[in-house]
Structure 1
């Protein structure tokens, strides 16, 4: 059974392992850090030859989690260095051609500014402008996955909606609402309540085909966007959608309350992202509507059970624990090489620690 601050301690251990094994300067530039793609890093990884822009956004998000758990100047300095590292490695600016990448970095930078005081207003302006410009009427609306592409998907529209909602400006809130409404209309499976990946569009704007893959992080950002919008009106509408998705996740994407993994590479982040937004849902739903305690408790349970399983099935390596991509089975060093997989585990533990310090029941079922 988890005891007082045990989950915070576990998150701290995961944090230190990532710091020790993955953080490296960018091309030797002072005052910069980025996460090496794999551990042990090959020569090209030490040089950050593969940037993995959106992995770095989640590294930054996890570092902000760590700061909120235990604020100190060392963590703040590291966050500042990673922000600078992202800008240096991206070379030409803060953005790239992928709207999902840009939205993920925007979310992390919003939190760094709000919670840590590390401010990059020019970055947030550039990201907001790109996300606003990413909306077109093709397929009835929505934001593209990538510039000059034919694909619109939940991994771009979900985080973009959360980012725009958190801007808390009238036009951005309206766009966030329209974005989630578009996802709901076009990309939610009526039978399961889960969000598909995305859809392809003909040049004339008509839908060509659907990509009906089910990914955990698509559910996470849909839950996150609905919970964020519930803070700004039409509470029942948005919380109804969040509740439906949380229930569907529990029923179809978890084994004995533990979220399913989706491999290494990019998939290593997917379940961790879902735990982030489940934890926020558990806290916010309780605050906004105490009558929805069953939904909030389901979200809490998924986070706690997943965190317990990730910790129980860790393996030990140099500088600390190593998590696997599938939290229900013992981790191996081979499967845990990717930074993404380690960030997924760390993110899950931070989500559980967030519930712990807010006084929720964190004893595993």
Structure 2
């Protein structure tokens, strides 16, 4: 994955075995049960829409057109790029391990063949994280199929990536790129979680395949570096960069927590050392408690970002199954139900935000794969209904509409906030915070915004499902930015999906700076 992609992120054919349609009530989707048949349909819809059986490869977009937003793969971006195809390959493995259907078993081999036809020399790719994802996926394919070629390729790729282990900067770690290993001369020189943590999982798979303890030694070596340099308590950071001792970039991605807890789980299973299990649970709980909207994994953006929660969910499920951590079952099932409930009924595709209905525009294959995978991973619970969650929506995890120079950022410098932080510096016309709220039944609710307004009284409009319910809601001033207050109002909500928008519009008399911590009462 390129630096451009990582920055932007911060911001076949098969018969349908079943088609289910969502009904509409009060302008909102009424939910269906998450059943085994739903999981079948979700996967069938994904394959039907994205898989080119003749090329043995997945299209990047649901419309089979090249889109400038992500045009990095073969044929000018018509097909998915390196790390996307690895994740989609694993989605097929998710489906095969759940169903045992021979079509998916055939696809495992076919996708590998199709990828090698497009990338005849994999190690020409300088991004070690890309190669690492293929090493890990190859070894998973070996475990499933017993095909020696997958073991050979996984072993080869691991050795190639591990050759970028280096102690001259930051006391160890594998460089992100094989061609950028000197921060004094390259802005691309960094050592990140995305490269190092998957290599821990890969090393354990190689240790098991070859019964060779040297791979365990390497896994522990890499993990020790991660633990020392990129982990601070339950906080899992993104990467190190810069000269000298380097600096840590603390970007929060579910991707990083997912790879880290996957590495910890693998080492726990290999050694039985309890501290690894503690590490895995700490990372899992950080995301569940702080990187969700009412218990649903947050929207992190488009392009690479929708795949982040797939990586997290896949490894969380491994923690649940392999380490007998059953406390995560309900979380996974609720997220699967959310994904299913918000699919697009025209083609059954699930979009990048599991809390809101999938729109009519093209959907990227990585986003759709994340939705399909969560239904393969979580055992069906046959629950019929919506997922209202815990009724708390952190502002820093909500969707925002920004304008140039708005200063509407996630911040955590003031004290007393909930979650990971709050939305700060908000004082620009045309900017909004959207909370996607799901309800089991229609009715009225008293909603509460928690805020700080040290610049004096502020005001905003509140819009529910496209209708203004308060044109100029007053947020009384607070004594400082670490003093939090609340303001409440009663709104009518539909069963299913609702959008509560808090917005700034000078035409409605909205004024002054405002920091928003959370929306609650739902």
Q: Which structure exhibits the higher relative contact order, with contacts defined as CA atoms closer than 8 Å and separated by 6 or more residues?
A: 1
Please identify which structure carries the higher helix content: 1
Pick aligned residue for 1:215 from 253, 258, 263:
253
d(CA) in 1 for partners of 2:242, 2:221? 18
Q: CA deviation at 1:143?
A: 1.1
Mapped pair 1:126 → 2:156? yes
Mapped pair 1:171 → 2:200? no
Pick aligned residue for 1:113 from 129, 142, 157:
142
Deviations 1:91-139 (A, max 9, x none): 2246621111111111211121211344424422321211221211121
Pick aligned residue for 1:148 from 172, 176, 179:
179
Change (3 A) 1:256 1:184: same
Change (3 A) 1:337 1:316: same
Q: CA deviation at 1:265?
A: 0.5
How many residues are matched? Answer: 335
Pick aligned residue for 2:370 from 344, 351, 359:
344
d(CA) in 2 for partners of 1:209, 1:152? 11
In the alignment, structure 1 segments of 5+ residues that lack a partner are 287-295
d(CA) in 2 for partners of 1:362, 1:254? 23
* Correspondence for 1:54: 83
Deviations 1:220-248 (A, max 9, x none): 11111111100121521101111111221
* Correspondence for 2:47: 19
Report the 3-state secondary structure (helix = DSSP H, G, I; strand = E; otherwise coil) of the residue aligned with 1:207.
Answer: coil
d(CA) in 1 for partners of 2:341, 2:66? 32
Please identify which structure carries the higher strand content: 2
TM-score (norm 1): 0.85
Pick aligned residue for 1:258 from 292, 296, 301:
296
Pick aligned residue for 2:230 from 179, 187, 211:
187
Mapped pair 1:42 → 2:65? yes
Contact 2:32 2:341 in 1 (8 A): no
Contact 2:128 2:161 in 1 (8 A): yes
Change (3 A) 1:201 1:8: farther
Report the 3-state secondary structure (helix = DSSP H, G, I; strand = E; otherwise coil) of the residue aligned with 2:196.
Answer: helix
Q: CA deviation at 1:210?
A: 2.2
In the alignment, structure 2 segments of 5+ residues that lack a partner are 1-30, 181-188, 390-522
d(CA) in 2 for partners of 1:83, 1:300? 31
Q: Which has the larger radius of gyration?
A: 2
Change (3 A) 1:65 1:152: same
* Correspondence for 2:349: 322
d(CA) in 1 for partners of 2:296, 2:341? 12
Change (3 A) 1:237 1:77: same
Cα RMSD (Å): 2.4
Report the 3-state secondary structure (helix = DSSP H, G, I; strand = E; otherwise coil) of the residue aligned with 1:210.
Answer: strand
Contact 1:306 1:348 in 2 (8 A): yes
Contact 1:165 1:173 in 2 (8 A): yes
d(CA) in 2 for partners of 1:70, 1:243? 28
d(CA) in 2 for partners of 1:47, 1:156? 23
Report the 3-state secondary structure (helix = DSSP H, G, I; strand = E; otherwise coil) of the residue aligned with 1:136.
Answer: coil
TM-score (norm 2): 0.60
Deviations 1:246-270 (A, max 9, x none): 2211211122221112122000101
Mapped pair 1:65 → 2:94? yes
Change (3 A) 1:43 1:252: closer
Contact 1:199 1:207 in 2 (8 A): no
Change (3 A) 1:275 1:101: same
Q: CA deviation at 1:327?
A: 0.8
Q: CA deviation at 1:43?
A: 6.1
